[in-house]
Amino acid sequence: MSLETASFVLKRVPVDSVGIQERCNFFTQRSIKKSSKLDALYASIQLMDLTTLEGSDTPERVKQLCNKARYPMTPALSEQLSRMESFRPIPSVAAVCVYPEMVSVAVKALQGTKIQIASVATGFPSGQTPLKTRLEEVTFAVEAGATEIDMVIQRGAFLSGDYQRVYDEIAAVKEVCGLAHLKVILETGELGTLEKVRFASDLAMEAGADFIKTSTGKIPSAASLPVTLVMFQAIADFYTRTGRKIGMKPAGGIRTAKQSIHYLVMLQETLGPEWIRPELFRFGASALLNDVLKQIAKQLTGHYFYDKAFSLD
Amino acid sequence: MLDIHSTAERNKSPAKKASYPAQGLFQANYDPSIESDKVVKIRATYELFIDGKWTPAEGGKTFLTLNPATGKPLAQIAEASSKDVDRAVQAAKRAYEKSWRSTSGRDRGRILFRIARILQERAREFAVLETLDNGKPIRESREIDIPLAAAHFFYYAGWADKLEYAVPGQRFQSLGVAGQIIPWNFPLLMAAWKIAPALATGNTVVLKPAETTPLTALLLAEVLQEAGLPDGVVNIITGASQTGAALVAHPDVSKIAFTGSTEIGKSIARQVAGTSKKLTLELGGKSAHLIFEDAAIDQAVEGIVQGIYFNQGHVCCAGSRLLVEESILETILSKLKRRIRTLRVGNPMDKNTDLGAINSSEQLQKIQTLVALGKEEGGDFYEPESTPLPTEGYFHRPCFFSSVPASSTLSRVEIFGPVLTISTFRTPEEAVQKANDTPYGLAAGIWSDKGGKIQKVARGLKAGVIWANTYNKFDPCSPFGGYFESGWGREGGRHGLLPYLEVQS
């Protein structure tokens, strides 16, 4: 498989950053009220990859996280809210996202649920380890029960212009993923320009990504509306060209319900409502969940609950 | 070789597949988010604003201004006769002779700054009133019309005591009374475009707003008083074409500034010929929007949408004639269709509305007639049929005609509505040729990723304003006006001062 022969597909697509920013400002001006807002908040939970990726992660910490993924709201508060007219039971999140070592813990903790188990792999977050060990890591995570693999691309190779290597590595990871879904993290904060984000998106999708993902969450410049819009447009063009729907995961920096609504509005008005489902869109987040719950409680009751009403894990 | 099909083959579904809802999780339609109309108090009747006082029209003649989104009346407006016009001109003349011509630039600037600040403070009130009277989406009046109107006052306030730098080394004098006639598409903004440079240069004003949208200009009268503008310096008289004609014909008016249709502009030019009046005209357009294959396509599509559907297409510089490089026509058409389907047409007071109401039933009828004619002439018509329209008021879906011959009526005439015509070109030379194939020359847009190409094409275009990789951007510093049938003179920027000055060398 050679990239050169496919250059008609992988031509560089120009991106105008001023135009992108302007379009994003438009999405943040949408005024989402009443039941649309409640729908968006519920959807934000159902589309969430609840994440813990710390050096200090322990089995107990991951178990706690899995419990939160399963039952985001405390039973006491759920009970109280269930008396409200427009209440619907709080759904589980889409997936938990952990390190490979923690996959088996999560598998056990989430038995009998439909919550997916995502594992970062491939020398996360830098990707600067030999391909052989990266592939072994993926195999390890899949064998431990991960249903989704969040890989990082080798940004060193990408920035030095060795696109063939990036392509081949993604394809190789896809190969060992087997039936697990592959999310390809571009780490857009390290790519420098929106045109590079676009090119990396095209490259990843051609190489076999099921999802493309903005960031590791390990550097300050994480998901943003402009970066996500560029990736949406890449996904839309790929769909037109191939008929395949690729998923999108903005990750890192999405902390408030308001932000998540901006993303959903943008998704709805670009890729369309058919993309607003967990197979095709995820938020990679940890702090977001409690803010969404807080806003749901506010929508249902008309007043804010204090922070202690929402458990940390 | 990179084989897409084998890639697809690899992407089978995952082992553990959750049962997700078949359709989206989020409402396809947003709940209404309506701006409150309580922030503005609309009086039942409005009189003429002459010499700092509200006075009824001679004989008590009135007309109604409607909310085009409902078709219901908002207020009764005095209709100025030629006698009323004379009263207003005399008041302006007195104010000019008595005080304003000798008021220092610094003092004029001070008042203009105050006007700008009060407009900002009362922005919400003005935005709501503009939307109610004009039908444009509240998002646009809030984000564009009102802030830009304030910006024009700020900009010309700065010039008031620096006029010697506008005409370096020369002396200059103000003209006297300026008669200003403005259209209904940007009512307050056009009033600002006209009043701010006139006052900065020491002239006095008789302003006639359009008969379908007089309310924000009348509210502006309050602001002028609040800012301490002396009585008679700005007079606002309401009425239809006869009122305007009387203003143009008045012998004590030294300058006419008109924004509106080319047809009326021509008749004003004929009327003014042979008199001592100076004249600026800002007229119609059929502006070309050129999309090259090396453009950032998704942003270009957005630019096309902003170019033609902004303010329901009621924009003299609307990018109404799209010229696309033939190699990307299909891509542009499919992306444009997709984008148009997401545009929300409806109640202009809803913060989520993208296209509001057409300003009047006459204008709606005109648009509908032209669209029907376009279908007869044989262009390929597209409109998002699934987009719902309100049952009352005047609304039109955003639409376009593709494969339109350059000779067709739709390619030639200004529609002044949300109707785009699309044709193709093959080379930059042909693009320029086709862009210039029009009696108008107001604006043009160029989309390309190549700076050199943009510069070269721009040099070939005969249009007063050229946007590159954007469209419909306005700035008080930037002169605006057209070639040929699009008008005489420029408004905005330093150039906007010159039509209000006589220069002595």
Which residue among A5, A20, A33 sits closest to B2, beta carbon to beta carbon? Answer: A5
Q: Which residue has the tokens 């002439």?
A: B377
Q: Report chain B's mean pLDDT, rounded to a whole number.
A: 94
Domain ranges across chain B: 37-283+484-504, 288-468
pLDDT tens sequence across B272-316? 999 999 999 999 999 999 999 999 999 999 999 999 999 999 999
Contact B349, B131 (CB under 8 A): yes
Collect all residues with Cβ–Cβ distance below 8 Å to B338 and sequence separation of at least 6.
none
pLDDT for A182: 98
Q: For the residues A108-126, what does the mean pLDDT come to? A: 97
Chain A residues with CB under 8 Å of B303 CB are: 19
| Nearest neighbour of A274 by CB, restricted to B1, B15, B24 | B24
Contact B30 A36 (CB under 8 A): yes
Size of interface A-B (CB pairs under 8 A): 140
Q: Is B47 a residue of the active site?
A: no
- The per-type count for chain A, helices as H runs and strands as E runs, is 12, 8
Residues 6+ apart with CB under 8 A from A8: none
CB A292 within 8 A of CB A79: no
- Return the structure tokens found at B121: 């403070």
- The contacts of residue B296 (CB under 8 Å, 6+ apart) are A13, A14, A15, A16, A19, B447, B449, B469
Among A178, A179, A278, the residue with its CB nearest the CB of B20 is: A278
pLDDT at B27: 74
How many whole angstroms separate alpha carbon B20 and alpha carbon A59?
28
| Residues lower than pLDDT 70 in chain B | 1-24, 28
Check B294 against A275: CB less than 8 A apart: no
Backbone dihedral angles phi then psi of residue B423, each to the nearest 5 degrees: -140, 180
Q: Catalytic site residues of A? A: 150, 213, 249
Q: If DSSP codes are grouped into helix, strand and coil, which group holds residue A186?
A: coil
Residue type for B444, please? A
Reduced to 3 states, what is the DSSP secondary structure of residue B234? strand
| Burial class of residue B54 (count of CB atoms within 10 Å of its CB; 0-12, 13-18, 19+) | middle
Q: Compute the nearest-CA separation of A51 from chain B (Å).
A: 19
Q: Domain B37-283+484-504's class?
A: alpha beta
Choose the closest CB to B26 out of A94, A114, A264: A264
Q: Is B326 a catalytic residue?
A: no
Interstrand relation of B399-402 and A181-185 (parallel, antiparallel or unpaired): unpaired
> Which residues on neighbouring strands pair with residue B259, listed in sequence order?
B282
Query: How much is the pLDDT for A312?
Result: 87
**Residues within 8 A of B (CB atoms), A 160-179 only:** 167, 174-175, 178-179
CA B164 to chain centre: 31
DSSP 8-class letter at A183: E
| Paired tokens of B337 | 């269709």
A297 CA to chain B: closest CA distance, Å? 18
Q: Report CB contact under 8 Å: B299, A20.
A: yes
With vertex at residue B368, the alpha carbon angle to CA B367 and CA B372, rounded to the nearest 5 degrees, is 120
Is A16 within 8 Å of B469 when comparing Cβ atoms? yes
**pLDDT band for position A11 (cuts 50, 70, 90):** confident
> Which residues of B lie closer than 8 Å to A, measured between beta carbons?
1-4, 7-8, 10-16, 18-21, 23-33, 139, 143, 294-299, 302-303, 334, 342, 351-352, 449, 469-470
For the stretch A55-98, pLDDT in tens is 999 999 999 999 999 999 999 999 999 999 889 999 999 999 99
- Distance from the Cα of B454 to chain A's closest Cα (Å) equals 14
pTM score, two decimals? 0.94
Positive or negative: CA dihedral B404, B408, B409, B413: positive
For position B1, what pLDDT does the model report?
A: 31
Half-sphere exposure of A14 (CA within 13 A, CB side): 17
Nearest to A157 by CA among A147, A144, A170, A148: A170
Distance CA A21, CA A254 (A): 17
Q: Which helix or strand (DSSP H or E) is residue A261 part of?
A: helix A257-270
Q: Is residue A35 within 8 angstroms of chain B, CB to CB?
A: yes
Quote the minimal CA–CA distance from B274 to chain A in Å: 48
Planar angle of CA A62, A67, A69, nearest 5 degrees: 90
Which residue of chain B has the CA closest to A16? Answer: B296
CB B26 to CB A13 under 8 A?
no
**Nearest beta carbon to residue A36 from set B27, B342, B351:** B27
Q: Which of B195, B141, B180 minimizes the C-alpha distance to B280?
A: B180
B167 secondary structure, DSSP code: S
3-state DSSP call for residue B391? coil
A132 touches chain B (CB under 8 A): no
Burial A225-244 (b: 16+ CB within 10 A, else e): bbbbbbbbbbbbbbeeebee
State what percent of residues in chain A have pLDDT above 70.
97
- What the block records as the tokens of A222 is 């994480």
Closest CA to B314 of B140, B76, B119: B140
> pLDDT averaged over chain A?
95
Structural domains of chain A, ranges and CATH numbers in brackets:
13-307 (3.20.20.70)
Task: Give the pLDDT confidence score for residue A1 in this predicted structure.
Answer: 53
The CATH topology of domain B288-468 is Aldehyde Dehydrogenase; Chain A, domain 2 (3.40.309)
Residue A277 burial class via C-beta count within 10 angstroms: exposed 0-12, middle 13-18, buried 19 and up: buried
Identify the residue whose tokens are 């005409």.
B167
Q: What is the ipTM of this complex?
A: 0.93
**Cβ separation B15–A180 shorter than 8 A:** yes
pLDDT in tens, B332-374: 999 999 999 999 999 999 999 999 999 999 999 999 999 999 9
